[in-house]
Chains A and B, each alone.
Chain A
Amino acid sequence: MFADLPLLSLVIWVPIVGGLLVLLTGGGRSGLEAKVLALLVALLTFALSIPLYTGFDTATYQMQFVESRPWIESFAINYHVGVDGISMPLILLTTFITVVVVIAGWEVISYKPAQYMASFLIMEGLMIGVFAALDAMLFYVFWEAMLIPMFIVIGIWGGVNRVYATIKFFLYTFLGSVFMLIALLWLYFQTGSFAILDFHAASIPAVAQIWIFLAFLIAFAVKVPMWPVHTWLPDAHVQAPTGGSVILAAIMLKLGAYGFLRFSLPITPDASHSLDWLMIVLSLIAVAYIGFVALVQQDMKKLIAYSSISHMGFVTLGFFIAWVIAENNGSYVGAAMGIQGGMVQMISHGFVSGAMFLCVGVMYDRMHSREINDYGGVVHTMPRFAAMMVFFAMANAGLPGTAGFVGEFMVILSAFKANFWIAFVAATTLILGAAYTLWMVKRVIYGNVRNPKVAELKDMNGREFVVLGTLAVMVLWLGLWPAPLLEVMDATVQHLVEHIAVSKVPVGAM
């Protein structure tokens, strides 16, 4: 039934065209038409993305649902898209989270709702484009274009300091990616093609690999973000509207990590090998140091933002630990688990952090404050909401049985295979994560009601319950039964590990 449809293209372009439609209709006086149309488009996109999962062949690492046609013949740039086990789950995450975000913004956004919804839909299409692109230039176009709607979202619907935050966000990420552009052009001159798979196959001298790796690193590290280029993230998160924070945390951060898997590791495996110490150190700093930073935050959104950086440290740790494992054990067995753990962490963090930001949003809509000190005793007035928030906080802390546990556990396990001390530092997150999350929950949810405003709070309405409830189901499902996700990515990750184990330095060259 779906075999002859260009499914991937539909999933990319339906939200973009739908977003433009929403923009053009203007949404009427109350913006209701815009919201309804946006919801329909988001649901349609989600529905279209499901066959990507059901029709996915888990036995192969080859790209699936491939479409390729010439785009810019002067420079051999093709419209070439396809998915493998790494990108497919991320596309599903994107289509799912966008539906959540559209619903979450339903009553909250009263200023120019059509532009708000349109921005998110267009952003959705562009992000899916990033995950699906198999041509480096197509990838780059989506990668950069995505900044435009996010810039607008933070700038228009953000908090007091939104202009500073959004310009910082834009320039930081823009600066990061232009170096990647130069690296991509250099690779084009080496291989005569912009196809990412040709880049994977190209043999590259060791010195050039280092430079390319560093150029990629700047682009992806800013996006992930890794310490020390993470400073844009707390600003952007705090100032962004709830929907913007959710998209940022749940999907945009994953783009950087995805870049490592799609570009850095397979294109420059030797450089990744020789610089893996750098990546591991940066990841561990993110895990441990940023965990401490999160502990002292007074602002809930900032706290979750720092916790995101810390969790993403796990992802990068899992990706780059393969060589240490190989050196200590003489084989790459266990390396795949690190990468898979990173992938699971990405997906689960998408759900958990998205849910955490939505929880803060629920409270912010009522109190217009994100300060932890303004709250206390929310459980007395919002018991149903409190239950949800405590659940997500547990997931954020990595409680077994929730999604947060699976990825962290896999990464720590593979870190133990590599080196005890790496695993030791990484495992501090189990304590730190629990400390900052639960301490926040204690101060916000429990205790006595100190603020008279808290005493007047109303519990979640049906819309909020649906949004958080679906996310809770996902978090629980992924925590209890992650097998379907692991199965999907297994062949691709195995192939990736085999690929990076082979040097790409041309024989006889330095």
Chain B
Amino acid sequence: MTFEMPNFLPVLPEMFVLGMSCLILILDLFLSERSRVVTYLLAQSTLVGAFILSLSLFNGGLELTFSNTFILDPMASVLKLFVYGAVFMVFLYSHSYLRARNMFHGEFFVLGLFGVLGMMILISAHNFITIYLGLELLSLALYAMVALQRDNRVASEAAMKYFILGAMASAMLLYGMSMLYGVTGSLDLAEISRAVEGGQINNTLLVFGMVFLIVGIGFKLGAVPFHMWVPDVYHGAPTAVTLYLSTAPKLAAFAMLMRLLVDGLGGLEAQWHDILVLLSVLSLSIGNVIAIAQSNIKRMLAYSGISHAGFLLLGVLSGSQEGYAAGMFYAIVYVIMGLAGFGMVILMSRAGFEADRLEDYKGLNERSSWFALMMLFIMFSMAGVPPFIGFWAKLTVIQAVVSADLIGLAAVAVIFSVIGAFYYLRIIKLMYFDKAETTEKFRPGSDLGAVLSANALAILLLGAYPDGLMALCRQAMGL
């Protein structure tokens, strides 16, 4: 066996992020508490650098390297660009939050960057081993981030829950992978795909393995019935971590879904289609209905995230390139909205006060009509009301579902989005129709306020001109 020098060019961004993360990790040891901001700035410049690298590698072609374990295709490039962007926004939102809570340490940023590396590997994985590698790198960083506030009992409990359930899900995934390896004799997605389509393999074993893979994916996406961790972890984790947890990893999870089910097990579409229908209908119904009963906005957004996962699955299960593009568009839009939603929670919070009860939003219109308007944009967008971007996300997905002739499923989806509209409307009711508990004006830090305003206005402007983002997603799927 001869050793061949792999093509390093496609993994340049990964190498850059890895190098910088290690550098920051070491550098942070020598920084005094007051110059900690250097860590923050370095972390942000790492993301910017990775963005530039990925952008320059983005040429619409497809490249495999490292003995076909790593793939760089348009989908990977686009998703990575949005991962950098999302994490950049997370860091922007959280630095004052962390500072106020004495959590402004290097760990948050270093773990965040390792998480980014995990997502990048997951997005570009073309082999069971690389998928697992990326997934674990991401998950370990997330477990640690949730537990960052060691003395906070809720956070520790959340971290413990997340870790145990996450480990179980990983084990399931691994079990499924080993089964598929057993029957196909390969870990490489392309070879597995060939073997499956060859039709020589015992279907029962294949489907068995596939089900375990779906458990792992469902856990990562937070789809019902693998959603139990979502509300507790979103609620317990410090809001800055929730912000991280609820956004960028969804893009990686979408990539994992695409790699495993479409690239690897495309030949079993008839089988996974039905399972995904079940997962998505359950996610839509349980997510939307239980969100109504929440009195904590982080939990409410967690359940709303579950229902959004259901919508994302709807796009993928329609089984066409249009559907995949719609799912990807939905994932990206969800990340933009999730950033703004949890960003609002961060904005409303102060040292010693987490604005995570719904009542905290009462009468916001009187305290700051600008930010009430921004929150209104976010809520209507999540509810899928035009002209906001959330509407176009739902539209593309429903379009894909209708084109696959699944009109009944489309009807279920829209009915649950009407039910879901109720709890978003309730936030608007609290902000606009109820009297504030305090008459004190709400004046957040101007930098944070600007970030949130930009994010919320992006929701409106992208809603007015959704074509660029849509075309990008379609291009990524080769349309």
* Chain A interfacial positions (CB closer than 8 Å to B): 23, 26, 71-75, 112, 115, 137, 140-141, 144-145, 147-148, 151-152, 155-156, 162-163, 166-167, 170-171, 174-175, 178-179, 181-182, 185-186, 188-189
Cα–Cα, bound, A325→B396 (Å): 43
Asked if B421 lies at the interface with its beta carbon under 8 angstroms from chain A, I say yes
Q: Are B429 and A163 in contact (CB under 8 A)?
A: yes
Q: Chain B nearest CB: distance from A163 CB in Å?
A: 5
Residues 389-430 of B, flagged 1 when their CB comes within 8 A of A and 0 if not, give: 001100110110011000100110011011001100100110
Contact partners of B407 in chain A: CB under 8 A: 182, 186
* Minimum CB distance partner of A23 in chain B: B373
Q: Are B467 and A72 in contact (CB under 8 A)?
A: yes
Partner of B422 from the list A141, A148, A155, A167 (CB cut-off 8 Å) is A167
Asked if B433 lies at the interface with its beta carbon under 8 angstroms from chain A, I say yes
Cα–Cα, bound, A163→B471 (Å): 40
* Minimum CB distance partner of A175 in chain B: B418
Q: Chain B nearest CB: distance from A192 CB in Å?
A: 12
Contact partners of B433 in chain A: CB under 8 A: 155-156, 162-163, 166
Known contacts A75-B470, A163-B433; A182/B385 CB under 8 A: no
A74, A174, A181 — most chain B CB neighbours (10 Å): A74
Partner of B391 from the list A144, A167, A182, A186 (CB cut-off 8 Å) is A144
Residues of chain B from 77 to 116 with CB closer than 8 A to chain A in the complex: none
Contact partners of A145 in chain B: CB under 8 A: 385-387
Partner of A181 from the list B398, B422, B432 (CB cut-off 8 Å) is B398
Cα–Cα, bound, A179→B418 (Å): 11
Q: Are B467 and A148 in contact (CB under 8 A)?
A: no
Q: Are B418 and A178 in contact (CB under 8 A)?
A: yes
Chain B interface size, under 10 / 10 to 19 / 20 to 34 / 35 or more: 35 or more
Q: Are A174 and B432 in contact (CB under 8 A)?
A: no
* Given A148-B380, A156-B365, A182-B402: 5 more A-B contacts, CB < 8 Å: A72-B470, A75-B396, A175-B418, A182-B398, A185-B399
* Minimum CB distance partner of B377 in chain A: A148
Q: Are B410 and A182 in contact (CB under 8 A)?
A: yes
Cα–Cα, bound, A141→B387 (Å): 6
* Minimum CB distance partner of A24 in chain B: B370
Asked if B267 lies at the interface with its beta carbon under 8 angstroms from chain A, I say no
Q: Are B414 and A181 in contact (CB under 8 A)?
A: yes
Contact partners of A23 in chain B: CB under 8 A: 373
Q: Are B429 and A155 in contact (CB under 8 A)?
A: yes
Asked if B474 lies at the interface with its beta carbon under 8 angstroms from chain A, I say yes
Q: Are B395 and A178 in contact (CB under 8 A)?
A: no
Known contacts A140-B386, A141-B387, A189-B403; A178/B414 CB under 8 A: yes
Asked if B149 lies at the interface with its beta carbon under 8 angstroms from chain A, I say no
* Chain B interfacial positions (CB closer than 8 Å to A): 365, 369, 373, 376, 380, 385-387, 391-392, 395-396, 398-399, 402-403, 407, 410-411, 414-415, 417-418, 421-422, 425, 428-429, 432-433, 466-467, 470-471, 474
Contact partners of B396 in chain A: CB under 8 A: 75
Contact partners of A71 in chain B: CB under 8 A: 467
A72, A137, A144, A155 — most chain B CB neighbours (10 Å): A72
Cα–Cα, bound, A140→B414 (Å): 14
Cα–Cα, bound, A175→B386 (Å): 14
Q: Chain B nearest CB: distance from A186 CB in Å?
A: 6
Partner of B425 from the list A73, A151, A181 (CB cut-off 8 Å) is A151
Contact partners of A166 in chain B: CB under 8 A: 429, 433
Contact partners of B376 in chain A: CB under 8 A: 148
Cα–Cα, bound, A171→B373 (Å): 20
Contact partners of B369 in chain A: CB under 8 A: 26, 112, 115
Q: Chain B nearest CB: distance from A63 CB in Å?
A: 23
Contact partners of A141 in chain B: CB under 8 A: 386-387, 391
Q: Are B421 and A174 in contact (CB under 8 A)?
A: yes
Q: Are B418 and A171 in contact (CB under 8 A)?
A: yes
Closest 8 CB pairs of A and B: A178-B414, A141-B386, A155-B433, A74-B470, A185-B402, A72-B467, A175-B418, A144-B386
A-B contacts at CB below 8 angstroms, number: 91
Q: Are B466 and A72 in contact (CB under 8 A)?
A: yes
Q: Are A171 and B470 in contact (CB under 8 A)?
A: no
Q: Chain A nearest CB: distance from B388 CB in Å?
A: 9
Contact partners of A186 in chain B: CB under 8 A: 402, 407
Partner of A178 from the list B380, B417, B432 (CB cut-off 8 Å) is B417
Known contacts A175-B418, A186-B402; A167/B425 CB under 8 A: yes
* Minimum CB distance partner of A186 in chain B: B402
Contact partners of A148 in chain B: CB under 8 A: 376, 380, 385
Q: Chain B nearest CB: distance from A241 CB in Å?
A: 13
Q: Are A144 and B414 in contact (CB under 8 A)?
A: no
22 chain-A/chain-B pairs, Cβ below 8 angstroms: A26-B369, A72-B470, A74-B474, A112-B369, A115-B365, A137-B395, A140-B386, A148-B385, A151-B425, A151-B428, A155-B428, A156-B433, A163-B429, A167-B425, A171-B422, A175-B415, A182-B410, A185-B398, A185-B402, A185-B403, A185-B410, A186-B407
Cα–Cα, bound, A144→B421 (Å): 13
Q: Chain A nearest CB: distance from B457 CB in Å?
A: 12
Contact partners of A189 in chain B: CB under 8 A: 402-403
Cα–Cα, bound, A156→B376 (Å): 14
Q: Chain A nearest CB: distance from B68 CB in Å?
A: 32
Cα–Cα, bound, A92→B343 (Å): 43
Contact partners of A137 in chain B: CB under 8 A: 395
Contact partners of B422 in chain A: CB under 8 A: 167, 171
B425, B470, B474 — most chain A CB neighbours (10 Å): B425
Q: Are B385 and A147 in contact (CB under 8 A)?
A: yes
Q: Chain A nearest CB: distance from B37 CB in Å?
A: 34
Q: Chain A nearest CB: distance from B425 CB in Å?
A: 6
Q: Are A155 and B432 in contact (CB under 8 A)?
A: yes
Contact partners of B429 in chain A: CB under 8 A: 155, 163, 166-167
Contact partners of A144 in chain B: CB under 8 A: 385-386, 391
Cα–Cα, bound, A175→B415 (Å): 7
Q: Are B403 and A152 in contact (CB under 8 A)?
A: no
Cα–Cα, bound, A71→B471 (Å): 12
Cα–Cα, bound, A65→B205 (Å): 64
* Minimum CB distance partner of A126 in chain B: B387
Contact partners of A155 in chain B: CB under 8 A: 428-429, 432-433
Cα–Cα, bound, A181→B413 (Å): 12
Cα–Cα, bound, A80→B415 (Å): 29
Known contacts A73-B467, A170-B425; A178/B391 CB under 8 A: no
* Minimum CB distance partner of B407 in chain A: A182
Cα–Cα, bound, A170→B387 (Å): 16
Contact partners of B471 in chain A: CB under 8 A: 73-74
Contact partners of B425 in chain A: CB under 8 A: 151, 167, 170-171
